[in-house]
Structure 1
Amino acid sequence: MTTQVPQTAPGEDWLRLDRQICFSLHAASRAFNGVYRVILKELGLTYPQYLVMLVLWEHGETPVKKLGEHLRLDSGTLSPLLKRLEAAGLVHRERSTRDERSVEVRLTEEGAALRERAAQVPRRIMSATGFTLDEMRDLRSRLDALTTALDAAALEEAPGCH
């Protein structure tokens, strides 16, 4: 597959840091994480723990493998997160009775109850951005489309996938 490289306008240096969308996304992600860190401290959660809780609040009891798929995390990254959430009394892990290779994760009563306190997090994040609800929806949609396009491009570039 031949990739077309856009022509650089005279005097425009595409290798400048301020021209890199990857850096803009990285900087925005770090800024988001900083805001989340402050807000989630009140809930006793880190940002990755919050993401795990979001999946469990939405889907209920979930196999670790499925949880990793939702979060785009491998089990090596997910296991320590779940261990800390379990130590905090928010989740319980148990081998599946249907398939002993699978571990199911479910909320404890305390984990389920935390959802009510977490309900204010998205509003506080939106307030921190200064964006309207429509702008937030549009940004999320564009980022989802970007992720899909980049996932597809990565598959095309992977050895043996041509």
Structure 2
Amino acid sequence: MERDNDPSPNWLLLDRQLCFALYSSSLAMTKLYKPLLSELGLTYPQYLVMLVLWETETLTVSELGARLALDSGTLTPLLKRLETARLVTRTRDAADERRVLVSLTDSGRALRQRAEHIPEQMLCATQCPVEEIQALTQRLHALRSSLEQARTDSSLPD
């Protein structure tokens, strides 16, 4: 992809920055989630952990971290709080003591039913058709992949 070498100061306007559009949209979305999740006793990051575990009841901490793009230093306190709330358990893998398995408890599984209304409420708040949200989600996943690739691509200019 060719770079536009136009040094126009217009590129430095805040409203022209993709990063700010993503950041401010993420903040707005997280704020909208807050009251919905507080009814469940969850924070947004805890909700993300629960979403993954509702898909796959047991994962290693490493697998969970990879799925959520979180390092163990961030994930461990989240898991401790979820364990204290009796929504998950953490146990050493009998086959490999170095691995810690995270599993849903009965309470964690039951919480899924109470959370089922949340995606629909969030979709309504976007005021966008489902197809548009699905397309945007796919495009954002592709963007994230491109950005991750660019970070490791040695041919990029400094």
What is the rounded CA distance, in whole Å, between the counterparts of 1:158 and 1:35 in structure 2?
A: 40
* TM-score with structure 1 setting the length: 0.91
Q: CA deviation at 1:13?
A: 1.2
Structure 2: gaps spanning 5 or more residues: none
Q: Which residue of 2 aligns with 1:8?
A: 6
Q: Which residue of 1 aligns with 2:113?
A: 116
What is the rounded CA distance, in whole Å, between the counterparts of 1:8 and 1:142 in structure 2?
A: 27
What is the rounded CA distance, in whole Å, between the counterparts of 2:81 and 2:91 in structure 1?
A: 15
What is the rounded CA distance, in whole Å, between the counterparts of 1:127 and 1:7 in structure 2?
A: 41
Q: Which residue of 2 aligns with 1:97?
A: 94
User: 2:122 aligned with 1:125, yes or no?
Assistant: yes
What is the rounded CA distance, in whole Å, between the counterparts of 1:47 and 1:158 in structure 2?
A: 36
Q: CA deviation at 1:7?
A: 4.0
User: What is the CA deviation profile of residues 102-155 of structure 1, one whole-angstrom value per residue up to 9, with x for unaligned ones?
Assistant: 000101100000001111111011011111110110110110110011011011
What is the rounded CA distance, in whole Å, between the counterparts of 1:92 and 1:81 in structure 2?
A: 12
What is the rounded CA distance, in whole Å, between the counterparts of 2:15 and 2:109 in structure 1?
A: 43
Of 15, 35, 47, the residue aligned with 1:38 is 35
User: 2:25 aligned with 1:25, yes or no?
Assistant: no
User: What is the CA deviation profile of residues 55-97 of structure 1, one whole-angstrom value per residue up to 9, with x for unaligned ones?
Assistant: 1110111110100010000111000000000001100101110
Structure 1: gaps spanning 5 or more residues: none
CA RMSD of aligned residues (A): 1.8
What is the rounded CA distance, in whole Å, between the counterparts of 1:4 and 1:135 in structure 2?
A: 28
Q: CA deviation at 1:157?
A: 4.3
Letter in 2 for 1:6: D
Letter in 1 for 2:88: V
* TM-score with structure 2 setting the length: 0.93
What is the rounded CA distance, in whole Å, between the counterparts of 2:20 and 2:133 in structure 1?
A: 20
The alignment-based identity, stated in percent, is 49
User: What is the CA deviation profile of residues 15-70 of structure 1, one whole-angstrom value per residue up to 9, with x for unaligned ones?
Assistant: 11111010010000000000111111111100000000011110111110100010
Letter in 1 for 2:6: T
What is the rounded CA distance, in whole Å, between the counterparts of 2:154 and 2:51 in structure 1?
A: 32
The 1:89–1:158 alpha-carbon spacing in structure 2 relative to 1, beyond 3 Å, is farther
Moved over 4 A (4+): none
What is the rounded CA distance, in whole Å, between the counterparts of 2:95 and 2:28 in structure 1?
A: 43
What is the rounded CA distance, in whole Å, between the counterparts of 2:49 and 2:70 in structure 1?
A: 10
Q: Which residue of 2 aligns with 1:51?
A: 48
User: 2:142 aligned with 1:145, yes or no?
Assistant: yes
SS of alignment partner, residue 110 of structure 2: helix
SS of alignment partner, residue 10 of structure 2: coil
